[in-house]
Structure 1
Amino acid sequence: MEELNTDQRNPAEVDPTSLFAQGLRQTHDNMASISVNNNPFNLYAQYWAQTTYPDESQYNLVTRSIPFFFWRGVYRDALAQFQEARDLTVTQLESGESGLEDVVLENRLAALDIMIGYNYHVLVDVFGDVPYTEALDSDNLQPAYDDARDIYNSVIENIQSATASIDPEEPGFPSNQDPMYQGNMAKWQKFGNSLLLRLGMRLADVDPSASVSVVNAALAGGVFESNDDNASLTYLGASPNTNPIYEDLVLSGRADFVAANTLVDIMNDLEDPRRAAYFRQNLGDGVYSGGVYGSANNYGANTQVGDALHQPDFPSTLLNYAEVEFLMAEAAARGGYAVGGSAESHYNEGIEASFNQWGLSDEQAAAYISQSDVNYSTAPGDWRQKIGLQMWLALYNEGFEAWSTWRRLDFVALTPPEDMDMADIPLRFTYPLEEGQLNNPNYTAAGAKIGGDEVGSPIFWDTLQPLL
């Protein structure tokens, strides 16, 4: 009778491996989505322009409640899954009743801590101060907002501990429940260190000594060495496991986006061969013309998003090898970091990695680098401009990181649209209006701390004024 009365569709205990897989999928969906309801980052990076409804490229955050949907996607759909999986895995480790060796459970905890850290870093980089120490507690409906820098410190410490604890020779989560690295803990270790490299370089202008310490430890631990290490999730070719970009570009039947003139004009000037991978040649062979960013553009009269992004199995990437090389180029250019090689050598490796990621050859990359406006020794501007611009070009379709890189390095690339709703290009999202209704005391205090809940209030690591 007990067996007959057991609901097999609603188990009494949730498997932490399925929660981990769900958290990974939701994290990638959150960052890969191009839905204007929750992820305008390809627009904020000015990679794409809009057609009929240009509100988001005019930086309107309110009409579609973008901050709320992004906030909910990270907290509820991703972090809550990882935190519950972590709690269950800790219980398994302490009870000794899982049937798994401790080293496997410890590897799983490390992967969970890396992903929890990743999601909180995204929240900080988008909003600033956010709930952290009191977050994800269903009994506390008014969690306090933690200081953004304090969250960063904690996240860095947790990822450092997690990465150091990994036994790369042992498995972690089952391969079929780890859609990013298939249980390969050596790759998880590289991802953790590469993420620490990113976070450490975020600190470079606000706390140089802390930046050097974090970055040097990450480099010593081992970062990405090729595109095979990329933190990517390859989607499947059939619903419901397709890339959300495919859902919005193809399944929706809509034609909401074209390539932005901001990006296309720069790539045209540099005769960048990645244009053939990034965009369609719908205007003729070798012809690329971007829609005016911030305006309503004609879909057929402008260069369209490339065919690769229209595929259901197109991968989502949280961090790639090209970014790692550009970060090392920046570290070398700044000086004081224990990074081997020169700024120029890592700059060139970053460009080559991007070309390879998009299916282009080393020879094409070398020819591109040989141009005077690309070659590190002759390209215009200081190191921020040279590295920042090429990093932005390489981060195509990784809008969050591209927008973050522009905010941090302040290189010339983005152009304020004529009819934008804000005074300037946003440096952060405003807090969800729902927070003002449900968590008003803490919401009000967080806004007051930064001089008002405004898009022009920079994140703590953004110390320079943008060059426009």
Structure 2
Amino acid sequence: MTTHYIKKSCITLLLLTAIGIAGCKKYLDTNDNPNLSTTASPDLLLPAVQAAIGHVLGNPLQIYGSFWAQYWTQNPKSSQYRSIDQYASTTTDFDRVWRMMYSDALQDIQEILNLTQGKESLNQYTAIALLMKAYDMQLATDAFGDIPLTQAAIPNVTNPSYTSQQQVYDSIFAYTDRAIALIDVNAEVTPSSDDLIFQGDMEQWLRFANTFKLRTGLRLSAVAPQISVQILAPLSLSGTLFLETDAQINYSTIGGNQNPLFSEMLGLGRTQNMVASETVAKFMTQNHDPRADVFFNRYINSSGVDSIIGIKQGSYRTNTSTYSLPSPVVGANGQNDKSANAPVKFMSAAESYFLQAEAVARGWLISPLSAQALFTKGIEASFTSYNVPGLSTYLASAPAAQWPAGTQAQIRAIIIQKWLAMTGNQGFEAFTEWRRTNYPDFFTTSAASTIGAGRMPERLIYPNSEVTRNANFPGIALIYIKVWWDAN
């Protein structure tokens, strides 16, 4: 893994374009022009960090996650993502993901931490940087397993050692706690427009931090429930704030500022590679879920009858044109310029309520609201986020919206509703929660699978850059090998 410094002009471009990351940074060494700036201020680095994470979250991880969480499948009329449907990814497929998490995000985060060290007036930048580090490293370890951590952002270390997943999670908890201790909602010096997510609103960052602790604590529910209980315990204190709005980066139709998935689709000539998966389309139809009309476009047949139609996962070899396309609200419709405006969600209000609901149902979180009330608020937040009509009817009649008896049945209901809320907009998190809980429990194996009967993807595989360049690379883990916390 190669280290680098950042040209100030490149970061300024990032601040203006929000997502113009790829190709901007250069790998530099001591022979570079000494007149070029090799440092930057936190207000220039912060948007670069957030944009880099937003790009990887909203483009490659969104694609892989939404295929493997069975929201989308390959369009029979195109071929770009067939290998994803086949579970046949290669090491070269993940070089960009890895580079953006490390060279584009983590090293800039470390630079912020270096610049703000010992400067109390910049504590709020330090806090946000710590949260971004925790978030970035959670994405990386959830995707790949063991990852470089302690040596990952040290200049001139080209062969960083790998840290076990359990130790990475220990560090994630520590970064989050350090950030919470630094957050001051009344601080005089905070970011403003350079904070692409909350524009310097530190109360929202406190809510983000607490909600992120819920996410990370619950991630260990199957492998280390005692740690989950320990992490969640402080969140039971009276007055603890959780997210009630979506933590997201907003985009526009201006060139360089589009949703990162739509931006890639433009680069592919607007080819529509994603269509609705039968798994989610069928479930939404059975439950008369009005969100189906928000997340997908209806297919209209020759008789004028319209409906949400998906095709079986991996069935791109069939000669059919009867399917629905993702809608522009998730940035995945290449023919509709409104896709450019789709936000990238780091965490959503719906996710926040569903995390609280699960923690309360397990008896690990004390809340003024019951698990059932939080479950309902999660559904409400999902509808509200996309201005979906018909909430009261859905809550009253949809089988998936009814609160069951028994803790395990309640957890199943919560995770399935979380899966529905994340349709096409938090694809990687939905895939990750399926790995943790085995819910939804009605996923189907891709018809095009190349990894053997009954097997499903459980991780991303390490990038070629690590396989070939890092002397401390621990060895390839096959796509169907579970990560540490996936004990189900």
Supply the AA of the counterpart residue of 1:69: R
Q: Is the 8 A contact 1:171 1:183 kept in 2?
A: no
In structure 2, the residue matched to 1:437 is 468
Selected match of 1:388 from 415, 418, 439: 415
Supply the AA of the counterpart residue of 1:427: E
After TM superposition, list the pairs within 5 Å mapping 1:223-262 onto structure 2. Answer: 223-227=241-245, 230-250=246-266, 252-262=269-279
Unaligned runs of 5+ in 1: 1-6, 94-101
Offset from partner CA, 1:321-368 (integer Å, 9 cap, x none): 11111111111222243233322211111111101111124xx22321
In structure 2, the residue matched to 1:345 is 373
In structure 2, the residue matched to 1:374 is 400
In structure 1, distance between residues paired with 2:232 and 2:251: 32
State the identity as a percent.
Answer: 28
1:195 positional shift: 0.7
Supply the AA of the counterpart residue of 1:74: M
The residue matched to 1:177 in structure 2 has which SS?
A: coil
Q: Which moved more, 1:142-151 or 1:72-81?
A: 72-81
Distance of aligned partners of 1:336 and 1:162 in 2 relative to their CA distance in 1, 3 Å threshold: closer
In structure 2, the residue matched to 1:305 is 326
Selected match of 1:143 from 135, 160, 166: 160
Q: Is the 8 A contact 2:289 2:398 kept in 1?
A: no
In structure 2, the residue matched to 1:406 is 434
Distance of aligned partners of 1:83 and 1:413 in 2 relative to their CA distance in 1, 3 Å threshold: farther
Selected match of 1:426 from 442, 454, 457: 457
In structure 1, distance between residues paired with 2:320 and 2:211: 38
1:72 positional shift: 1.3
1:390 positional shift: 1.1
Supply the AA of the counterpart residue of 2:261: I
Supply the AA of the counterpart residue of 1:339: S
Distance of aligned partners of 1:172 and 1:326 in 2 relative to their CA distance in 1, 3 Å threshold: farther
In structure 2, the residue matched to 1:214 is 231
Supply the AA of the counterpart residue of 2:468: Q
After TM superposition, list the pairs within 5 Å mapping 1:63-462 onto structure 2. Answer: 65-90=92-117, 93=119, 102-103=120-121, 105-170=122-187, 173-220=190-237, 222-227=240-245, 230-250=246-266, 252-283=269-300, 286-296=306-316, 300-308=321-329, 309=331, 310-361=338-389, 364-371=390-397, 373-378=399-404, 382-396=409-423, 397-411=425-439, 412-423=441-452, 424-440=455-471, 442-443=472-473, 446-447=474-475, 453-462=477-486
Q: Is the 8 A contact 1:34 1:42 kept in 2?
A: no
The residue matched to 2:150 in structure 1 has which SS?
A: coil
1:150 positional shift: 0.7
In structure 2, the residue matched to 1:20 is 46
In structure 2, distance between residues paired with 1:457 and 1:223: 37
In structure 2, distance between residues paired with 1:385 and 1:420: 26
In structure 1, distance between residues paired with 2:320 and 2:242: 38
Supply the AA of the counterpart residue of 1:292: K
What TM-score results when the alignment is normalised by the length of structure 2?
0.83
Q: Is the 8 A contact 2:293 2:308 kept in 1?
A: no
In structure 2, distance between residues paired with 1:182 and 1:336: 32
After TM superposition, list the pairs within 5 Å mapping 1:39-58 onto structure 2. Answer: 39-51=63-75, 52-53=78-79, 54-58=82-86
1:286 positional shift: 4.8
- Equivalent pairs, count: 434
1:174 positional shift: 3.2
Q: Is the 8 A contact 2:72 2:274 kept in 1?
A: yes
1:375 positional shift: 3.9
In structure 1, distance between residues paired with 2:46 and 2:401: 43
In structure 2, distance between residues paired with 1:8 and 1:18: 8
Q: Is the 8 A contact 1:107 1:171 kept in 2?
A: no
In structure 1, distance between residues paired with 2:156 and 2:266: 41
In structure 2, distance between residues paired with 1:219 and 1:190: 14
The residue matched to 1:49 in structure 2 has which SS?
A: strand
Offset from partner CA, 1:420-453 (integer Å, 9 cap, x none): 122311111222233222124x22xx34xxxx61
Q: Which moved more, 1:153-162 or 1:308-317?
A: 308-317
Report the aligned-residue RMSD.
Answer: 2.4
In structure 1, distance between residues paired with 2:60 and 2:172: 27
What TM-score results when the alignment is normalised by the length of structure 1?
0.87
In structure 2, distance between residues paired with 1:322 and 1:438: 41
In structure 2, distance between residues paired with 1:172 and 1:222: 23
Q: Which moved more, 1:38-47 or 1:375-384?
A: 375-384
The residue matched to 1:292 in structure 2 has which SS?
A: coil
Supply the AA of the counterpart residue of 2:263: E
Q: Is the 8 A contact 1:246 1:311 kept in 2?
A: yes
Supply the AA of the counterpart residue of 2:108: Q
In structure 2, distance between residues paired with 1:186 and 1:333: 27
Distance of aligned partners of 1:34 and 1:135 in 2 relative to their CA distance in 1, 3 Å threshold: closer
The residue matched to 1:388 in structure 2 has which SS?
A: helix
Offset from partner CA, 1:292-318 (integer Å, 9 cap, x none): 211226785310111323432221101
In structure 2, the residue matched to 1:3 is none
Q: Is the 8 A contact 1:236 1:312 kept in 2?
A: yes
1:8 positional shift: 9.2
The residue matched to 2:117 in structure 1 has which SS?
A: helix
